[in-house]
Structure 1
């Protein structure tokens, strides 16, 4: 059986290197995705037609990113509603929300650094501590979101920040599923080295693979 196709957005609504890091994480996962990088023209031309998963990487600020992506909102929503999977990292997590965003969550997103009791005070690149599957772990972080859900929603919460807000979760949307993560489990050694950072746990892909697996199996 052929490996499933994953489409990863690469265009102005992301930052250099982000799409490639997500693509590498997907290709190395247990699903062995056939990964295609796609910009706005490819999305408009039907790049999602044979895909099992669409990934929105991290990048810059939410408002300008959404202005670039909003013409694809209906297309992405229909893809997930019909059984596709959406994976959002940092900015891609923000874009899964509604203010503004694709409206894929039964709830919304907000800045973790603006939440009460946040352990990160500003937008600088850093390493954040989370509880992933109720175990302490450290992940690369740069102004990522936290997620909140309406009463009655049934998300699978994978990780929380130190203040208890949700750092990573998976939730159903129609026949499909949405996996979102505020930190960057796809970050490789070069990300840490560029900013003089280290990870006390070592730089491992297992958290990102857990997010992928849970989203695909939801």
Structure 2
């Protein structure tokens, strides 16, 4: 199922879409789709879900799909999972069989046990954690260390990842918040891999403008690194 075994012109990515992922709430689906299309992979993106072109189950049964992306969303993670409980089996099977899962903000929370059960550990709320650089769930620009380099990223009530001790050594931590908690990570899952990110590397300038935040430039390069690592081109060879 990995992209390098796909003989088509471009690998295909599926991005989830429902009323809570936009466009009325900033269009998280559209922003994540645009980020994926702009990576070196040049993904052909299809949407799946209540506002998508097809169902998640149907989309993930296609042999040309290599990546499933779960974007940010309005509401809490329990509500989001109830909307997608029927998709859990298809998502887990897709990743277990060698597919890639990308979860941003809400997509990170949904990867934890009790929801999609992809991440070996917890995903907790960052803004209420000790030493967090923000203390509300309002949109903000947060400082992170991405591979040791200070960067500023768009953030709105995203999570931080707490892996189980025995699972940590198999993971690649890409970014940390200023309190030392994990902001972005790539981890194995069955024959596939997952990438989780609390802040939004896909955030377009309009999100900053609408929230009255200073726009410090594109973070597409961080999204590129996240996807490259997920797909096996950083910190290891394609498998």
Q: TM-score, normalised by structure 2?
A: 0.87
For each residue in 1:185-216, what CA deviation from the matched residue of structure 2 results, as whole angstroms up to 9, or x when unmatched? 1001111111111144x223100111111101
**After superposition, what is the alpha-carbon deviation per residue over 1:148-177, rounded to whole angstroms, capped at 9, x for unaligned?**
101121210000000000000000001100
Pair 1:62-2:77 in alignment: yes
Q: Is 1:10 aligned to residue 17 of structure 2?
A: yes
> Residues of 2 paired with 1:158 and 1:178: CA distance?
13
- Kept in 1: contact 2:185–2:195 (CA 8 A): yes
Residue 204 of structure 1: aligned partner? 219
1:31 pairs, out of 32, 35, 41, with 41
Greater RCO, 1 or 2 (C-alpha within 8 Å, sep 6+):
1
Residue 161 of structure 1 is matched in structure 2 by 177
Q: Is 1:87 aligned to residue 102 of structure 2?
A: yes
Tell me what 2:59 maps to.
Answer: 47
Q: Secondary structure at the match of 1:47?
A: helix
Q: Could you say which residue in structure 1 is the equivalent of 2:4? A: none
Contact 2:48 2:56 in 1 (8 A): no
Shift of 1:62: 1.0
Q: Which moved more, 1:34-43 or 1:116-125?
A: 34-43
| Contact 1:13 1:66 survives alignment (8 Å) | no
The yes-or-no answer on 1:152 pairing with 2:153 is: no
Question: Aligned residue for 1:131?
Answer: 145
Q: Pairwise mapping of residues 180-191 of structure 1 onto structure 2 (< 5 A)?
A: 180-191=196-207
Unaligned runs of 5+ in 1: none
Report the counterpart of residue 77 of structure 1 in structure 2: 92
Query: 4+ residue runs of structure 1 moved beyond 4 angstroms?
Result: none
Distance in structure 1 (CA, Å) of the matches to 2:131 and 2:190: 34
Ranges in structure 2 where 5+ consecutive residues have no aligned partner: 1-6
What is the deviation of 1:12? 3.1
Count of equivalent residues = 216
Give distance in 1, aligned partners of 2:153 and 2:129: 18
**TM-score, normalized by length of structure 1?**
0.95
The whole-number CA distance in structure 2 between the counterparts of 1:141 and 1:69 is: 23
For 1:43 and 1:93, how far apart are their aligned partners in 2?
21
Residues 38-67 of structure 1 show CA distances to partners (whole Å, capped at 9, x for unaligned) of 114823551112310000000112121111
